[in-house]
Amino acid sequence: MYVTADEDAIAVDEMGYSMSRLELESDVCDSGKIIPEVSSSSQRSNRPINILDHEIAQITKLRSGPHELLSHVEPGRRDLPVSTVKMLARREGNYSGRGRFSSADCCHVLSRYLPVNGPWLVDQMNSRAYVSQFSADGSLFVAGFQGSHIRVYNVDKGWKVQKNILAKSLRWTITDTSLSSDQRYLVYASMSPIVHIVNVGSAETESRANITEIHEGLDLSAEDDGGYSFGIFSVKFSTDGRELVAGSSDDSIYVYDLHANKLSLRIQAHTSDVNTVCFADESGHLIYSGSDDALCKVWDRRCFIAKGKPAGVLMGHLEGITFIDSRGDGRYFISNGKDQAIKLWDIRGMSSNATCNPAYRNYEWDYRWMDYPPQAKDLKHPCDQSIFTYRGHSVLRTLIRCYFSPAYSTGQKYIYTGSHNSCVYIYDLVSGAQVATLKHHKSPVRDCSWHPFYPMLVSSSWDGDVVKWEFPGTGEAPSSLSKKRVRSRYFL
């Protein structure tokens, strides 16, 4: 059973029997006995948690908090979770005067059903998994592997493989994939200046490049490159499907116009590898980039004063940036850094250029094969412009990715990330608390993806496993989407 905002009744008759421990704890709270939230382990840190004091904290609470008339509790109990059963009873009594739950009410309920149960096996390959991505509507899931394979699964049809793609001109690994918003096309990249597009909607299941299907190659190298070869670390479709943006190992950002079938923009953006790029919102005007030069930059295509000049720079990471995820509002984004931290940014606080040199390094370190130096763990950037920092996971060996949780079901109340230590971490956006740690994999988890509507999260690892975590309810049988249960532990 999935609880969705469209299913407004939220299955009252089963609610008492299939609640997660999260929900059971909130009911115990209503009776006056306080039990801790879901956490990463049985031992929580006694270190005080700094609460995010920023506009985004209030926005998040508005988007994921219940109506005050549905959540009324006795004085002094405002900080305790509100019982879903009591919210349902008050909704039936029309306490709010609307006769139904608002989207924020639904997010308040749904965000408590974390996908921590499982995992169930989706697929198992004999090569490292680098990419996991749900489509925008959650009906498709894409997994990319080092051994040239990209698999597109039809989630609604029991995770049946809809397309098995054997990549063309692969160098080292599939570094990134992206689905167009209409889910017709998939673009994939590797350590090459050429990205390829595949028609996902075609009838052919086995997609072998230029044998069973055409994989159209888009060359991002400029004519004046003199044959110089570089790799693409990150590639994304624009929302309208007309453009691609890519970040590369030659320190540049590329924008490719798909309708004109040509490169429309190249920016010498950073002084080191551009590991991650994305469009800030649906308009496509703003682009965020993150680099091994430890800087995040914002590019406004409407007002380039000079070629290669960003709209602003954000400083705060002490090491290279592995991934950026936009909140989708053209204002906030998060970044994962090799300094073992996720940072939350508000672009209204950016500088015109990088004015501060931290001059922090007195050690030799390479994240690809070395542990993070103990003496670096307490270092702070003297000009940190981020508004919050999240720690607990590890960013080593590969470009670990992080994301906001879905807007529809959680109000983007959480952020989550893969980790070198084989786990998936879920943090509360406002408190910074680790609310769950998912343990199954035996190797680094490079990527993970939360279903846009259901309490389901899929993680992919260098151990070759792609597994899904769900909330079907304590003691409830696996859903029909499951292939096989994997022996594992989950922590409450």
Name, in order, each residue with C-beta under 8 angstroms of 429's C-beta and a sequence gap of 6 or more: 52, 56, 57, 60, 344, 388, 404, 412, 413, 414, 415
pLDDT tens digits for range 397-428: 999 999 999 999 999 999 999 999 999 999 99
pLDDT tens digits for range 316-352: 999 999 999 999 999 999 999 999 999 999 999 999 9
Task: List the one residue out of 318, 367, 361 whose CA is nearest residue 343.
Answer: 318
User: What residues does each domain of the chain span?
Assistant: 55-108, 118-355+367-470
Task: List the one residue out of 413, 401, 416 whose CA is nearest residue 461.
Answer: 401
CATH of domain 118-355+367-470: 2.130.10.10
Res. 225 pLDDT band, cuts 50 70 90: low
CA angle 136, 141, 142 (to 5 degrees): 110
Helix (H, G, I), strand (E, B) or coil at 87: helix
Res. 487 pLDDT band, cuts 50 70 90: very low
pLDDT of residue 22: 34
Res. 356 pLDDT band, cuts 50 70 90: confident
CA distances from 130 to 149, 443, 464 (A): 11, 12, 9
What tokens does 37 get? 């939230």
CB 393 within 8 A of CB 369: no
CB 193 within 8 A of CB 221: yes
Average pLDDT over residues 170-185: 94
Residue with tokens 């990330």: 417
CB 173 within 8 A of CB 146: yes
Cα end-to-end span (Å), the chain? 20
Distance CA 482, CA 470 (A): 10
pLDDT of residue 32: 30
For the whole model, what pTM was predicted? 0.84
Which spans in 337-480 are helix H?
407-410
Question: How crowded is the C-beta side of 322, counted as CA atoms within 13 Å?
Answer: 26
pLDDT of residue 305: 56
What tokens does 158 get? 């029991």
